Structure 1
Amino acid sequence: MNKKDRNETKDEELYETLIHDSVKEFEDAHSHNEKELKQIVQKSKNSALRTNILISLAVLLLIVPVMTLSTYFYYAIGGRANNLIEVASKTIYVTEPNMSLEEMELEEDIGFFTMNITFDVFKRIGKEDYKVGNYEIYHAFDKPSLPKRNMSLERPMPEIPSEETEYLVHPDAAIPLDRSDEWEILRGLPDGTVSEVYVSLTQLMSPEEIEKQFGKNIEVRWLAVDTGVEANHLDGEGLYVTQLGYPAQIDDTTWSPFNGRDQTNEEVFMDILQFLEKNEDVTVKIARGKSLMLSERISYLKQHGIHVYGAVVTGPTPELRKLENNQLVRSIKVGEVKLWNWK
């Protein structure tokens, strides 16, 4: 091999070396860039995820106070919350015999466009008021669900009333068959007790007249009012119509609508019915009976006046037994019984 050939061979080797080194540098650079690219992509994903989380948290933190303020604003408009509370309390007074509540202890829990009302209910038995349970009424916006009644009564009224289970019976209605043993129950109670008795009358009477019929040792607590539908207690669709009445005694507690300050109990009763008529869709959910017919019954009362067909009375058990000899008493239903507290 001559000198010229040797030089050409060296040049070829040098060229191949340069090409090899260039390819290796390119491969190394490409490999390095691909790794960095993957890291960049991953960092971008992490950054986007953090951003989305932060945005979501910001939106939630913004929504919660906005929704809370909107809810309070909704229930504050026009006194909506107070109105719903008033409907619930007044429904109890005029549809549940001898039952009252302490509005000062009523609790309300407001959520997102919901309101839950809870309150205790009481009965006067003898000379004392006894807590007999509590109500819980859940509202979605201004629409109530059926109330949860947690009662601790020895002889509770049926959850779904009917003509056969009604405690106070109109003179023109048939007496339920289960009433034959009620006098025996009353006679079997110890003398050292006070009792609550539901008295059905043989005829309609004015509120003033009925107060005179039972003597000083028996207290009339609640009056069942004739409104023109009590003979069968059914509306045109066959639904049971809720009984209506009002407390016979003045309740001097500040929260009671029957506190006797400006109106008689009869006048308060009529005012309550007209108030409930404007909120009848809410009232009918709270009342045990699922028909009220308030418009028709209010018209009847305005035309015929208030007459009573039954009453809830309380007193010493021996005194209540004497009602069996009262010609105005058609039938009775024994309610709650407590140890002697008559003063």
Structure 2
Amino acid sequence: MSEKMSEEFKNKLDAYEKGELHGDELADFEKELEKLELYQEHLDGKKSQAVTTINENKQLKILKRSKWKARFQTALTALGIFILILIISSILTAVYYSWGTPDRGDVFAKVIDYTLAVTEPDGEFGGTSSNAKPFFSMEMERDLKKKVGSNVMKVGELKVNFLFSLMGFPERNYMGNVSQNQPIFTYPGFDRGWSDWERLEKLPEGTVVSAYISFNNLESTDEVYQLLGEKDFDISWFAVDTGDRGEEASLDGGAILDPIGFPSTPIWHEDDMKLDSREETKGFLFGKVVSEGYSSPSYQEGDSDMLHKQFLKTLRFLEKHEKMANKLYQGRNLDLENKLQYLEKNGIKHYGVVITGPTKEIFKLKNEKAISTIEVDEVGFWNW
């Protein structure tokens, strides 16, 4: 609006307020005022809307910041609670598995060791390690080994998980040199039409093997030592007749698929150990540190009474934890009560053994009348 028009509008406005405008002039000026009022309302509305939009944006930003702050605080609180629960759970888990004499963790490890010692012809006794985890769980692991010649080689791993005292199903992972066809024993009185004498004959000089030997008759431990003990190879494991082997073998054409037995060295238990030394040293504050050294009883190779005693002791131990042992026995039923009754009444006899040593020395057994079959397990380079 020009300065002249602005001055004119002011004069008319003064005249309007004084009531000096009449007729058409008054009507025209009132129309002009209405236009100005509408224009002003429009401007005021835009300004108000802009202010409202700005205020809403600020409120949204503040609200977002508040929400994220609340979420962050909630997350920190939850994390703190979780860490606290984790610490408390870890402490309670350690207490649970270390409770008792011997403690639970040690008992569970022994169940694994003893079960493998009496059910795995390849197995060596011992070697299970444990790792307690939060929320009352524990993981136990051990290497699966096999003796070929003088070497003991790792052929796999066993992993077992526990929740409280409930054992999960064992997980076996094999590797490397494990035979594709696991050898088996043949029960006396059966002819499976299979033996590895020809394979042994073709193996070169300078190799060693582990092999499963089956007998024509049930043999006592002393008779086995008389037959094989002076040879230039080792007996690794004795398969034991438990009264039900013949019935099971008849269902499988003479094959024993799930042998039970014991290694050629006694299976020692914690209460067998002898205290050799004991030393006390000053510990933190008023405590003391006790160091003790233990050793196993003396054993002379071929002492069948000692082998039998420790084998039966092991079966009695496993009878108390048979549900766990059955899972380690590939889910089959050990039925230890009946087996123990049979062994205590009839004594311990063998339908086969596992041996290892120079290939050509083992091949010489072909002419032994007491031996029915041989099945080769593993072959290795000379290490005798």
Instruction: Please tell me the TM-score bracket, short chain as reference.
Output: 0.7 to 0.9
Q: Which amino acid aligns with 1:152?
A: G
Q: Which residues in structure 2 correspond to 1:31-70 (within 5 Å)?
A: 31=52, 41-70=63-92
How far does the alpha carbon of each residue in 1:301-328 deviate from its partner, in whole angstroms, 9 at most, with x for none? 1111111111112232222222121111
Residue 229 of structure 1, CA deviation = 1.1
Q: Which residues in structure 2 correspond to 1:1-343 (within 5 Å)?
A: 31=52, 41-78=63-100, 79-101=103-125, 103=127, 106-112=128-134, 113-126=136-149, 128-141=150-163, 142-153=166-177, 155-156=179-180, 158=182, 167-172=184-189, 174-179=190-195, 182-214=196-228, 216-217=230-231, 218-233=233-248, 242-249=258-265, 260-261=297-298, 264-288=306-330, 290-342=332-384
Residue 77 to residue 7, structure 1, CA distance change in 2 (3 Å): farther
Number of residue equivalences: 317
Residue 168 to residue 33, structure 1, CA distance change in 2 (3 Å): closer
Q: Which amino acid aligns with 1:248?
A: S
Residue 99 to residue 36, structure 1, CA distance change in 2 (3 Å): closer
For 1:90 and 1:227, how far apart are their aligned partners in 2? 17
How far does the alpha carbon of each residue in 1:74-93 deviate from its partner, in whole angstroms, 9 at most, with x for none? 32233222122111111121
Residue 307 to residue 259, structure 1, CA distance change in 2 (3 Å): farther
How far does the alpha carbon of each residue in 1:159-217 deviate from its partner, in whole angstroms, 9 at most, with x for none? xxxxxxx6122214x333433xx110111112322222211111112111110012522
Are 1:251 and 1:260, in contact at CA under 8 Å, matched by a contact in 2?
A: no
Residue 200 to residue 241, structure 1, CA distance change in 2 (3 Å): closer
Are 2:207 and 2:381, in contact at CA under 8 Å, matched by a contact in 1?
A: yes
How far does the alpha carbon of each residue in 1:280-320 deviate from its partner, in whole angstroms, 9 at most, with x for none? 22112222462211111111111111111111122322222
How far does the alpha carbon of each residue in 1:87-107 deviate from its partner, in whole angstroms, 9 at most, with x for none? 11111211111421552xx43
For 2:209 and 2:71, how far apart are their aligned partners in 1? 71
What residue in structure 1 maps to residue 282 of structure 2?
none
Residue 82 to residue 229, structure 1, CA distance change in 2 (3 Å): same
Structure 1 segments unaligned to the other structure (5+ residues): 159-165
Residue 320 to residue 234, structure 1, CA distance change in 2 (3 Å): closer
SS for the counterpart of 2:383 is: coil
Residue 261 of structure 1, CA deviation = 3.9
How far does the alpha carbon of each residue in 1:206-258 deviate from its partner, in whole angstroms, 9 at most, with x for none? 1111100125223322111110111133799xxx8731111124589x9x999
What residue in structure 1 maps to residue 291 of structure 2?
none
Are 1:241 and 1:293, in contact at CA under 8 Å, matched by a contact in 2?
A: no
Q: Which amino acid aligns with 1:145?
A: F
For 2:240 and 2:153, how far apart are their aligned partners in 1? 25
Residue 51 of structure 1, CA deviation = 2.6
Are 1:250 and 1:260, in contact at CA under 8 Å, matched by a contact in 2?
A: no
For 1:171 and 1:138, how far apart are their aligned partners in 2? 36
Which of these two proteins has the greater Rg computed from alpha carbons?
A: 2
State, as a whole percentage, how many aligned pairs show the same letter.
Answer: 27
For 1:47 and 1:195, how far apart are their aligned partners in 2? 70
Residue 109 of structure 1, CA deviation = 3.2
Are 1:101 and 1:120, in contact at CA under 8 Å, matched by a contact in 2?
A: no
TM-score w.r.t. length of structure 2 = 0.69
For 1:224 and 1:101, how far apart are their aligned partners in 2? 15
Q: Which amino acid aligns with 1:70?
A: L
Are 2:194 and 2:373, in contact at CA under 8 Å, matched by a contact in 1?
A: no
SS for the counterpart of 2:90 is: helix
Residue 332 of structure 1, CA deviation = 1.1
RMSD: 3.8
Residue 41 to residue 293, structure 1, CA distance change in 2 (3 Å): same
Q: Which amino acid aligns with 1:171?
A: P
Residue 71 to residue 321, structure 1, CA distance change in 2 (3 Å): same
Q: Which amino acid aligns with 2:87?
A: P
For 2:106 and 2:181, how far apart are their aligned partners in 1? 28
Structure 2 segments unaligned to the other structure (5+ residues): 1-13, 21-32, 274-294, 300-304
Residue 72 of structure 1, CA deviation = 2.2
Are 1:220 and 1:249, in contact at CA under 8 Å, matched by a contact in 2?
A: no
